[in-house]
Every structure is written in structure tokens, then in C-alpha cells.
Amino acid sequence: MNMILEQYRKPYGPLLPWMALAMILVVGLWIMQSMRHEGVVQALKQLKSEESHVQQELLHHKEAKRARKDLAQVWAVLPHDRDFAPLALGITEEAKRNRVTLPALSYKTESTPVANTSKGVLQGTMTGRYEDLRRFLYDIETAEELVYIEDLDLIPSANPQEPRLTFNIKIATYLRSEPARVMGQ
């Protein structure tokens, strides 16, 4: 205590309490700043996490919107289920134009796991010269309608010199139907 009184009597002595107060304030300010800094760092981390989450949600929404648009385009191109029989007739006519024989083309529809869609299947045998068959298959695959050749099997000929080939063919398409209407609408 004597030492403090002795320091107080020196010319800079009256400044000692102010310097002590300034030191206490500086230390207090440093403590508060570091505590506030921690809070800001935590808040910044939380904001960055939220921003990342929001960006992911935005990306998912954009992908969903793009998928809906793509689905609408595909849906618009699918033939209607009532157009399946005329489609089969059109394929038969295309075969005649290409000099390909489709003697017994059968068609049926199968259910699919997608609502308001079904799969239309046309199958039978086709006979013709190689060039004609190739042209017919090309015309089918490049047609306006979404038609796919699912299966094509060559039936071996009894006469290997025969210029005409016979294939089993399976042609498929997907058909859309109107959603079932709720009574009263």
C-alpha cells in the first residue's frame, strides 16, 4: 500500500487512477468485443447454412419446374388412346406403300404405372425384300408419332435363296388418356 501512495505523490500520480480505469475499460471492451465477435461468427455460420439450404431448395424448384415443362412437352406429343386404332391403320398403310406385307397385325393396350397413360403394342409378322423392310422400319422410327420398335426377330426361311425376309415385329407407343372427371365438375 505504501508503494501505491508513493507512486501517487509523483508528478504523474494523479493520472494513475485514470489509467487504471482506462485499462479496466479496455479489458472490458476487449471481453465484450470477443463475446460479440463469437455471436456474430455464430450468426454468420447460421446465415450461411440457411443460404445454402435456400439455394438447394431453389435448385430443386428449378429442376422440378424444368421437369414439369419437359413432361408437358412429352405429354403433348403422346397420341391419345382413341388414336391408337388409326395409328395401327396408318402403320399398315405405310407398310403397303413400302411393299411390306403385314398379314396379321394385332394390337392391344397394357397398363403402365403412370397415371392416365397406357402402352399400345402392335405385333405380328412382316415380310418383304430387305430394302423395302429397311425403308419401312426407317419410316416408322422417324414418324411424327412416338412409336418404338421394341422387338424384331428374323424368322429363318426354308429357302435361303428367297429374296423375301420375314420378321416378327413388336411396335410400341405410349398413349395418354383424359384424367377421370370427378362427378359434379
Cβ density class 79-98: b for 16+ within 10 Å, e for less: bebebbeebbeebeebbeeb
Q: How far is CA 117 from CA 24, 152, 166, 176, in A?
A: 79, 24, 32, 5
Query: How far apart, in whole angstroms, are the C-alpha atoms of residue 167 and residue 103?
Result: 12
| Nearest residue to 108 (alpha-carbon basis) of 87, 139, 138, 77 | 87
Task: Give the model confidence (pLDDT) of 10-35 as tens digits.
Answer: 777 777 778 888 899 998 888 887 77
Report the mean per-residue pLDDT for the chain.
Answer: 84
Look up the pTM and report it: 0.59
Spatial contact of 150 and 125, defined as CB atoms under 8 Å apart? no
CB 100 within 8 A of CB 130: no
The answer to whether residue 185 scores a pLDDT higher than 50 is no
Neighbouring CB atoms inside 10 A of 157's CB total 13
Reported as a single tens digit per residue, the pLDDT across 109-131 is 888 888 888 899 999 999 999 99
